[in-house]
């Protein structure tokens, strides 16, 4: 029996892990034993437990309950706690996702114990070393034995850093997820009615990147741009807890009276709203791609993106945090015809990942 220890901690990781876990349970129940470690990085019910319930993710065997603090404190505490779990469980593989502090702590703890590390979403780069995520990705990739790339660009990024061993192009597990849940969300979610939104007539927004939330000028520009947009259409902003707190502290909420500020949404409600939005305005990595998967134009409130294909194919526009540019891009979003090739694979990334883990990474 192959023993895989999966480390998750933040919302996008629960979603990605759901896809791979489903393949393990459905297709390899007799040959692979997977168990989850939840670091606790995201702990609010609506940032964590709802995803386990809704996406049928296995109950974590270990809940480390580590959240908050500085990056150093959080990552350090995780490193120590994950090492203890690894010493007692002795897995064959440690499976990590994305680019959070949980990803980095898992990678480091495993590598120091000589336990092979497999990184899902390897090779992404923003080339902005001020992003905590960029540091986490580069370091995690450096110590990973299997590097599962979502895009050709990710493979090229790794090659430029001299990393080719163990690298494979599998496609994006988020694309697998979007195919699996797109119709489920349409039939199960009543989010359009609940929020009184009409098909194709509203803006869906999210904002949580530190570069925006931790910079008062940028956050203000974003808040005011959303308020401007809300002057003549519905704008809904499911607010990340950190963003909500900073917006309140900054006194921004009053200026955004006409924006529907709601709690973070469960996944099915979120992708239901994505599918029928006129335009999506975001700084999230996952949401940029989901916009693309669901053929909805996207405005990305960042200066660069890891998901360059969405921009190259005309579905995504980078505006930075400029009120004027956000307003202009979201008021008349591009609607390109078609998508060319399949930049994010064919919806079988999770199956390819599990097959390679089983093969012991003999690639």
Active site amino acids: 208
Q: Which of 285, 297, 333, 343 binds ligand UDP (CB under 6 A)?
A: 285
Between residues 93 and 307, which has the closer beta carbon with respect to ligand UDP?
Answer: 307
Q: How far is the CB of 3 from ligand UDP (least distance, A)?
A: 27
Q: Does 9 bind ligand UDP (CB under 6 A)?
A: no
Q: Which of 124, 191, 270, 330 binds ligand UDP (CB under 6 A)?
A: 270
Q: Which of 265, 277, 301, 353 binds ligand UDP (CB under 6 A)?
A: 265
Q: Does 287 bind ligand UDP (CB under 6 A)?
A: yes
In order of 228, 268, 336, the CA distances from 184 in angstroms are 33, 8, 26
Identify the sign of the CA torsion 47, 126, 175, 97: negative
Between residues 228 and 290, which has the closer beta carbon with respect to ligand UDP?
Answer: 290
Looking only at residues 292 through 351 of this chain, which bind ligand UDP when binding is defined by CB under 6 A? none
Between residues 171 and 264, which has the closer beta carbon with respect to ligand UDP?
Answer: 264
The burial of 166, by beta-carbon neighbours within 10 Å (0-12 exposed, 13-18 middle, 19 or more buried), is given as buried
Between residues 62 and 307, which has the closer beta carbon with respect to ligand UDP?
Answer: 307
Q: How far is the CB of 174 from ligand UDP (least distance, A)?
A: 7
Q: Which of 141, 221, 228, 290 binds ligand UDP (CB under 6 A)?
A: 290
Q: Which one of the spans 64-72, 211-219, 250-258, 260-268 is the region binding ligand UDP (CB under 6 A)?
A: 260-268
Q: How far is the CB of 170 from ligand UDP (least distance, A)?
A: 18
Q: Which of 123, 238, 343, 345 binds ligand UDP (CB under 6 A)?
A: 238
Q: How far is the CB of 43 from ligand UDP (least distance, A)?
A: 14
Between residues 77 and 137, which has the closer beta carbon with respect to ligand UDP?
Answer: 137
Q: Which of 102, 136, 157, 206 binds ligand UDP (CB under 6 A)?
A: 206
Q: How far is the CB of 199 from ligand UDP (least distance, A)?
A: 18
Identify the sign of the CA torsion 69, 72, 75, 81: negative
Q: Does 22 bind ligand UDP (CB under 6 A)?
A: no
Tell me the site size for ligand UDP, rule CB under 6 A. Answer: 16
Q: How far is the CB of 12 from ligand UDP (least distance, A)?
A: 4
Q: Does 150 bind ligand UDP (CB under 6 A)?
A: no
Q: How far is the CB of 95 from ligand UDP (least distance, A)?
A: 17
Backbone angles phi, psi at 340, to 5 degrees: 65, -125
Q: Which one of the spans 113-121, 157-165, 259-267, 323-331 is the region binding ligand UDP (CB under 6 A)?
A: 259-267
Between residues 57 and 265, which has the closer beta carbon with respect to ligand UDP?
Answer: 265
In contact, 188 and 268? CB cutoff 8 Å:
yes
Q: Does 271 bind ligand UDP (CB under 6 A)?
A: yes
Q: Does 284 bind ligand UDP (CB under 6 A)?
A: yes
Calpha distance 75→307 (Å, rounded): 26
Q: Half-sphere exposure (CA, 13 Å, Cβ side) for 40?
A: 16
Q: Which residues bind ligand UDP (CB under 6 A)?
A: 11-12, 15, 206, 208, 238, 264-265, 267, 270-271, 284-287, 290
């Amino acid at each position: 029996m192959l023993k895989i220890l999966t480390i998750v901690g933040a919302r996008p990781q629960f979603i990605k892990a759901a896809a791979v876990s489903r393949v393990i349970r459905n297709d390899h129940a007799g040959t692979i034993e997977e168990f989850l470690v939840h670091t606790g990085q995201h702990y609010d019910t609506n940032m964590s437990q709802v995803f386990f319930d809704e996406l049928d993710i296995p109950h974590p065997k270990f809940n480390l309950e580590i959240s908050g603090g500085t990056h150093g404190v959080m990552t350090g505490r995780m490193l120590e706690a994950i090492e203890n779990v690894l010493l007692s469980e002795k897995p064959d593989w440690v499976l990590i996702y994305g680019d959070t502090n949980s990803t980095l702590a898992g990678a480091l703890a495993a590598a120091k114990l000589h336990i092979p590390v497999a990184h899902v979403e390897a090779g992404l780069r923003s080339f902005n070393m001020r992003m905590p995520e960029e540091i986490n990705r580069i370091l995690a990739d450096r110590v990973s034995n299997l590097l599962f790339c979502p895009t050709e660009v990710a493979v090229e990024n790794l090659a430029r850093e001299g990393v080719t061993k163990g690298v494979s192009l599998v496609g994006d597990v988020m694309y697998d997820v979007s195919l699996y849940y797109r119709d489920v969300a349409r039939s199960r979610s009543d989010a359009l009615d609940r929020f009184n939104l009409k098909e194709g007539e509203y803006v869906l927004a999210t904002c949580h990147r530190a570069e925006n939330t931790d910079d008062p000028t940028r956050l203000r520009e974003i808040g005011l741009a959303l308020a401007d947009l809300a002057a003549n259409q519905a704008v809904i902003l499911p607010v990340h807890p950190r963003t909500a707190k900073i917006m309140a502290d900054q006194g921004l909420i009053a200026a955004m009276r006409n924006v529907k500020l709601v709690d973070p949404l469960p996944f099915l409600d979120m992708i239901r709203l994505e599918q029928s939005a006129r335009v999506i305005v975001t700084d999230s990595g996952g949401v940029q791609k989901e916009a693309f998967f669901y053929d909805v134009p996207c405005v990305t409130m960042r200066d660069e993106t890891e998901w360059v294909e969405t921009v190259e194919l005309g579905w995504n526009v980078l505006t930075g945090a400029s009120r004027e540019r956000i307003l202009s891009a979201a008021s008349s979003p591009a609607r390109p015809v078609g998508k060319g090739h399949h930049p994010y694979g064919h919806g079988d990334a999770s199956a390819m990942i599990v097959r390679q883990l089983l093969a012991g990474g003999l690639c």
